[in-house]
């Protein structure tokens, strides 16, 4: 195992060992406090451009599931076709693994996908630094070749364009009761599964595709990586779709941000984001609290919602926006992940609500 150093933009250094693919890498360093779910998180396209720190100390002990593809073209156990995070940072990597569904070690998977993994890092200390300072750019450098260190850029990069599908893909064609256009900003496969199992035909389109001429019953806007301000083409298309006030619209995560922008609201960057399986959100107008899976660094500014809109969910930890709804039209969205994968499935009913509206 080669020695590596994680260098943060504020100069902090963390020394560890490489257990993944051996290449220096740079990106936005973020932390996730979930206790499990590394196969799903690594393949979540929303992590593009980021170095994923896990605070749960033991990582790798349940291995990695097989990369099998279903007849509908979706990966059975992964959230996309490949790893999207730039690297994974852990405290104590377990090479030995045991799980009914594991076919290889995390190390072998990372090497095959050419993604670095580093272990021996005090990830709780690193998280404290990120919580104090806010997320930072960082790089992983091999100690025996310190001159080889790529520059990190994240702000302003259109990661959605890098991960979105390049052409229209249809699922359940001719078989679903209703048709939904899914704007793919970097969609997780479990979102598509959640729609398909509710008897819906899904027309998955590239993020900047103008679907407004197509025939469909509802519009879904997916999760996705990076800064929502880089996705103006998607916002313009949503605005056009809103000319039909009866068209049901549902958005998740980046989808919440883009729908909010289409409705005239503003987005800001959170200090260190929400990435975990236990984010409590309250449904506005009720005393109901749901525990949710989250992965986001930006948020909708509640104060900038225009008069036709209201918050649908509020984060119980920091009061930030966790979803919006239109006061008259069937338009709503969630900042968290009702499809989970991984994490609690308590809010999956939002898909039922959407399908009922179609
Ligand atoms: N999971 C997502 O869709 C994340 C949205 C956006 N990239 C953010 O970090 O806030």
CATH number at residue 64: 3.50.30.20
Phi, psi of 223 (to 5 degrees): -70, 170
Of 154, 224, 226, 267, the residue with max ligand 1 atoms within 8 A of its CB, to mutate for a pocket test, comes to 224
150 in any annotated domain: no
What is the predicted ipTM? 0.98
64 in any annotated domain: yes
Q: pTM higher than 0.95 for the full model?
A: yes
The response to whether residue 46 sits with its C-beta less than 6 Å from ligand 1 reads yes
Q: What is the 3-state secondary structure (H, E, C) of 306-351?
A: CCCEEECEEECCCCCECEEEECCCCEEEECCCCCCCCCCCCCCHHH
153 in any annotated domain: no
Residues 316, 225 within the same domain? yes
147 in any annotated domain: no
- For the chain, what's the residue count? 358
Residues 167, 87 within the same domain? no
Nearest to 66 by CA among 89, 43, 92, 90: 43
3-state helix, strand, coil in the chain (%, to 5): 20, 35, 45
151 in any annotated domain: no
Which two tokens mark 166? 């390049």
Residue range of the domain that includes 13: 3-142
Please say which residue of 80, 112, 142 terminates a domain.
142
Residue 21: how many CB atoms within 10 A of its CB? 18
Domains in the chain: how many in total? 2
Distance CA 358, CA 40 (A): 29
Residues 249, 291 within the same domain? yes
Residues 82, 163 within the same domain? no
List per-residue pLDDT tens for the chain, 358 residues long.
999 999 999 999 999 999 999 999 999 999 999 999 999 999 999 999 999 999 999 999 999 999 999 999 999 999 999 999 999 999 999 999 999 999 999 999 999 999 999 999 999 999 999 999 999 999 999 999 988 989 889 999 999 999 999 999 999 999 999 999 999 999 999 999 999 999 999 999 999 999 999 999 999 999 999 999 999 999 999 999 999 999 999 999 999 999 999 999 999 999 999 999 999 999 999 999 999 999 999 999 999 999 999 999 999 999 999 999 999 999 999 999 999 999 999 999 999 999 999 9
Of 228, 256, 271, the residue with max ligand 1 atoms within 8 A of its CB, to mutate for a pocket test, comes to 228
Distance CA 317, CA 277 (A): 14
Which two tokens mark 98? 């045991």
């Amino acid at each position: 195992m080669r020695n590596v150093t994680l260098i943060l933009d504020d100069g902090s250094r963390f020394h560890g060992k490489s257990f993944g693919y051996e290449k220096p890498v740079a990106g936005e360093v973020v932390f996730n406090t979930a206790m499990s779910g590394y196969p799903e998180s690594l393949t979540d396209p929303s992590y593009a451009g980021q170095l994923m720190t896990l605070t749960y100390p033991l990582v790798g002990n349940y291995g990695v599931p097989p990369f099998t593809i279903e007849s509908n073209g979706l990966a059975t156990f992964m959230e996309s076709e490949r790893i999207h995070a730039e690297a994974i940072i852990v405290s104590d990597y377990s090479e030995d693994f045991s799980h009914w569904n594991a076919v290889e070690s995390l190390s072998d998977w990372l090497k095959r996908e050419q993604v670095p993994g580093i272990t021996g890092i005090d990830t709780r200390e690193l998280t404290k630094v990120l919580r104090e300072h806010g997320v930072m750019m960082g790089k992983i450098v091999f100690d025996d070749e310190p001159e080889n260190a790529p520059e990190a850029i994240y702000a302003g990069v259109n990661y959605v364009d890098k991960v979105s599908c390049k052409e229209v893909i249809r699922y359940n064609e001719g078989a679903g009761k209703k048709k939904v256009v899914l704007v793919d900003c970097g969609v997780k496969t479990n979102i598509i599964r959640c729609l398909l199992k509710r008897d819906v035909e899904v027309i998955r389109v590239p993020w900047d595709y103008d679907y407004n001429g197509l025939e469909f019953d509802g519009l879904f806007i997916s999760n996705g990586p990076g800064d929502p301000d880089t996705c103006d083409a998607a916002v313009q298309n949503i605005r056009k779709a809103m000319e039909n006030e009866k068209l049901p619209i549902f958005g998740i995560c980046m989808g919440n941000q883009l729908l909010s922008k289409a409705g005239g609201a503003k987005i800001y960057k959170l200090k260190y984001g929400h990435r975990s399986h236990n984010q409590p959100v309250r449904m506005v107008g009720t005393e109901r609290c749901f525990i949710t899976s989250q992965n986001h660094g930006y948020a909708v500014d509640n104060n900038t919602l225009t008069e036709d809109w209201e918050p649908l969910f509020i984060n119980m930890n920091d009061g930030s926006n966790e979803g919006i709804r239109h006061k008259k039209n069937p338009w709503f969205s969630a900042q968290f992940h009702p499809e989970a994968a991984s994490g609690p499935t308590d809010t999956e009913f939002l898909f039922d609500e959407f399908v009922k509206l179609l």
